[in-house]
Structure 1
């Protein structure tokens, strides 16, 4: 494999807003439209690296798009070396902090840089990273939000059948704990005992509620209980992890590998699932996965299934890929799902190309 040198030319960042087929209904928020920032990293050699960000709220894009454009001006003429660009971009925002929007912007840059580098090498990203093209075990996270328990059965069957999934995620945190238990029972009855179920409270409980509710569902055979309390309450997570038999899953709010390291040191979880826009893109993931691997802690992904599939092929403790199709409408060729496996296409880079007609129709007015 010969890596052709690439020279950074510019960045284009476009904000789009997509209507969700199944709106996000969690205890802390309801989301009907999904914002994305589409990133094109142009090089002097003509290769374009692509990535996207999913910043949850449309107004956040007003701050992230200019930050990405500033990176484009700052890095012009530099060699596209992802680790170096990651460090330069982070240091340029050092005085406003390494977390929050700073890390999210850096992550978008990083993922696009890795895509460009793999395209220049003529290989899929997973191959560039030392792995091989192949399938990745995935669970469907597209639905099972806070609907009434009696409405969940049909949704669960549809989600299972979307790609022959063997695992689904449902959300908990209804007003009454008994309704959460009824929701688990409804999904179990609909899809059977052979389907693994993950439960996510989306940070909706305080520690008192979490102690009560998590103990109530501790014998339901769940694959994990995810983020019952606010993400930075590591003392609370350590208590829950020590008391419960069901594994505690956190990590989508780790801002960089050091947050993961701190959580493991504090014994605040049994499982980790970093989000690519917060952990630091591909570079941050690789550093975090080394820590999880050394600790023997299973590592799953959060959002971004395309880049997630590639890095999971080189992650020592790879566990589950979270699959959502929320970005599919603006992709030319979404990744196929068959028998619960996400299949990486054997093409250079990550395999992301924009459906420009859909992009034009979805552009957001900032």
Structure 2
């Protein structure tokens, strides 16, 4: 089906705050409530593109909402072409910088624009991008936070069985390295050797700690060690990647494809996992994935499992999708997971529609 030309009318951006079933407990943060900004991009032709972003803390909403809403005024009446909007939105924020909240806002706009484009074409987003509807391999990232070994060992089978997952993510960075090792051992005994275990420090170590602690993980069969140090310390990541046998995973804090290219040029990692909210939405993802594909670097996702599933279907070196249910409370039809695979619905667009009753229950005014 040929896509209908669309004309940008405006944007509605709303904020909700959801309670997490399993609060985030990492070395650098504890989060019990998960804020979301829900975006509806309206067109003159009656097609509405939808997306959401999760900016981590509620306070950040009051800074992001005005930027996103301003896009609605800035682009009203213009052709609704995702790549063009991406470029125009970035240029409109040039004087305040391309990274940080600027890129977050652009990403929110971009994802909604691509959703609208796919709906206008009458096809799933992954098909519009040149791929096909199909399953995407996923690991469960909903839990295994910093808790005592007995607790994470009991939780691990629940997470595995929630969707027949063959991979789980655990968090490291306890006060004593021996407690991290005990947690890994307990989880292994609980779920067996056939489950892939991804370990995430959430940037919780300084360089000295990372050099002291990470080698002890090298013979434990971990799928990767994720963000052991601050994301901006590319030289430090490169040093670790060069010394460790276990692959180093970074990328959720890449603000645009150039950050990914710079990290690969520095040999700062073995794997990358861009975050759609920071990499530049679908447009930024496609450009970043092409760079990783050229280098032969496996690409995983960070958050946003619905949109992420679509782009993974057209990613040359697609690796793992990170699955969480953190936004499902406000979605009409959460994507099903079976046998460790996320299923993309054969529907026009990205497959995101709001449960308006739930949105009203969780809405906050900003």
- TM-score (norm. length: structure 2): 1.00
Q: Deviations over 1:148-170 (max 9, x none)?
A: 11111111010000000000000
Q: After superposition, where does 1:270-349 map in structure 2 within 5 Å?
A: 270-349=270-349
Partner of 1:49: 49
Q: Deviations over 1:266-315 (max 9, x none)?
A: 00000000000100000000000000000000000000000000000000
TM superposition shift of 1:212: 1.1
What is the aligned residue count? 366
Does the residue aligned with 1:50 lie in a helix, a strand or coil? Answer: strand
User: d(CA) in 2 for partners of 1:125 and 1:83?
Assistant: 14
> Is 1:71 equivalent to 2:74 in the alignment?
no
Does the residue aligned with 2:80 lie in a helix, a strand or coil? Answer: coil
Q: After superposition, where does 1:67-106 map in structure 2 within 5 Å?
A: 67-106=67-106
User: d(CA) in 2 for partners of 1:290 and 1:235?
Assistant: 23
User: d(CA) in 2 for partners of 1:87 and 1:37?
Assistant: 22
TM superposition shift of 1:3: 1.2
Does the residue aligned with 1:22 lie in a helix, a strand or coil? Answer: strand
User: d(CA) in 2 for partners of 1:355 and 1:30?
Assistant: 27
TM superposition shift of 1:365: 3.1
Partner of 2:24: 24
User: d(CA) in 1 for partners of 2:365 and 2:338?
Assistant: 37
User: d(CA) in 2 for partners of 1:364 and 1:56?
Assistant: 15
Q: Deviations over 1:311-363 (max 9, x none)?
A: 00000000000000000000000000000000000000000000000000001
Gaps of 5+ in 2: none
Partner of 1:118: 118
User: d(CA) in 2 for partners of 1:365 and 1:48?
Assistant: 22
List, as ranges, runs of 4+ consecutive aligned residues in structure 1 with deviation greater than 2 Å: none
- TM-score (norm. length: structure 1): 1.00
Partner of 2:218: 218
Partner of 2:164: 164
Does the residue aligned with 1:333 lie in a helix, a strand or coil? Answer: coil
RMSD of the TM alignment (CA)? 0.5
Gaps of 5+ in 1: none
Does the residue aligned with 2:317 lie in a helix, a strand or coil? Answer: coil
